[in-house]
């Protein structure tokens, strides 16, 4: 009899940059399809999945236009970019046979549903993937903070930060070949060593809610599934 997943409900934090592949900005369709396949492999195990997605891949293409812009205005533009990414991810999931719903912290009801906590939880219980766009709906807060917030609200057992790096290292592995990956590290240790796991607000919220974080590479085949199964993949940050 196959082993059961360690986690029943998860929140995946996916950066917008992860969708670019090798492109300078925008969405690389092959990369998007690969990410969806990783998510589908976990959904097929019966795991309930929420996703918070960033917008850096789209906003990077507007970097010149946004230079010198008021911070709040730029942040709202970034939130709109996350909604665009959420819609693209939802469409790719639909094409792969996954049932997905997009909920936005910004009110754009002609395009996507507004974020309603109770409805999001019901969708998860029905086996649908819920993609949260629009960040927190407020400027000055990152999508890392949105992931910590939504993860806490929906009762996720863990936040999985899907990046291009396969964990948290003692130093930058690109600059220091002797850098080692932490398999596990406490929140207090990560803070004490100045490790950039998430931004400070998100990190503090996860610590206060006793919501563990696992940092792993979404581009490593099967990594998401291994994390969900409780295998040694990426870095687990815990209380």
User: Which tens digits make up the pLDDT trace of 186-233?
Assistant: 999 988 888 888 888 999 999 999 999 999 999 999 999 999 999 999
CATH of domain 9-238: 3.40.1160.10
Residue 112 banded pLDDT, cuts 50, 70, 90: very high
pLDDT(83) > 90: yes
Q: Which residues are annotated as a binding site?
A: 13-16, 55-56, 60, 75, 136-143, 163, 169, 172
How far are the Cα atoms of 72, 113, 131, 179, 187 from residue 107, in angstroms, in the given order?
17, 8, 15, 44, 34
pTM for the model = 0.94
pLDDT(61) > 70: no
Q: Which residues are annotated as a binding site for UMP?
A: 55, 75, 136-143
Report domain extents, the chain.
9-238
The CA distance from 182 to 80, in Å, is 35
Q: What is the pLDDT of residue 63?
A: 61
Helix segments in 96-216, DSSP class H: 117-125, 143-154, 187-192, 200-208
Task: Enter the tokens of residue 236.
Answer: 């687990």
Q: What is the pLDDT of residue 64?
A: 56
Nearest to 169 by CA among 216, 210, 228, 218: 216
Segment 162-174, tens digit of pLDDT: 998 899 998 888 7
Residue 94 banded pLDDT, cuts 50, 70, 90: very high
DSSP state of 169: B
Percentage of the residues of the chain whose pLDDT score is greater than 90: 74
- The mean predicted confidence, pLDDT, of the chain is 92
pLDDT(62) > 70: no
Q: Which residues are annotated as a binding site for ATP?
A: 13-16, 56, 60, 163, 169, 172
């Amino acid at each position: 009899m196959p082993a059961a997943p360690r986690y029943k409900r998860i929140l995946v934090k996916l950066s917008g940059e992860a969708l670019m592949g090798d492109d300078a900005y925008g969405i690389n369709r092959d990369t998007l399809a690969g990410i969806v396949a990783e998510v589908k492999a976990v959904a097929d195990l019966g795991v309930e999945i929420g996703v918070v997605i960033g917008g850096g891949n789209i906003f990077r293409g507007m970097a010149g236009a946004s230079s010198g812009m008021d911070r709040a205005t730029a942040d709202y533009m970034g939130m709109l970019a996350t909604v665009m990414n959420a819609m693209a991810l939802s469409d790719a999931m639909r094409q792969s046979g996954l049932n997905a719903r997009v909920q936005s912290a910004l009110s754009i009801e002609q395009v996507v549903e507004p974020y309603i906590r109770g409805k999001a939880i019901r969708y998860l219980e029905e086996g649908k993937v819920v993609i949260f766009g629009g960040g927190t709906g407020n400027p000055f807060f990152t999508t890392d903070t949105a992931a910590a917030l939504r993860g806490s609200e929906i009762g996720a057992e863990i936040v999985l930060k899907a990046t291009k790096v396969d964990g948290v290292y003692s130093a930058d592995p690109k600059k220091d070949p002797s850098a080692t990956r932490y398999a596990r590290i406490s929140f207090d240790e990560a803070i004490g060593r100045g490790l950039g796991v998430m931004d400070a607000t998100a990190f503090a919220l996860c610590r206060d809610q006793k919501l563990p974080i696992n940092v792993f590479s979404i581009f490593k085949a099967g990594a998401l599934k291994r994390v969900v199964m409780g295998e040694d993949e990426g870095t687990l940050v815990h209380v």
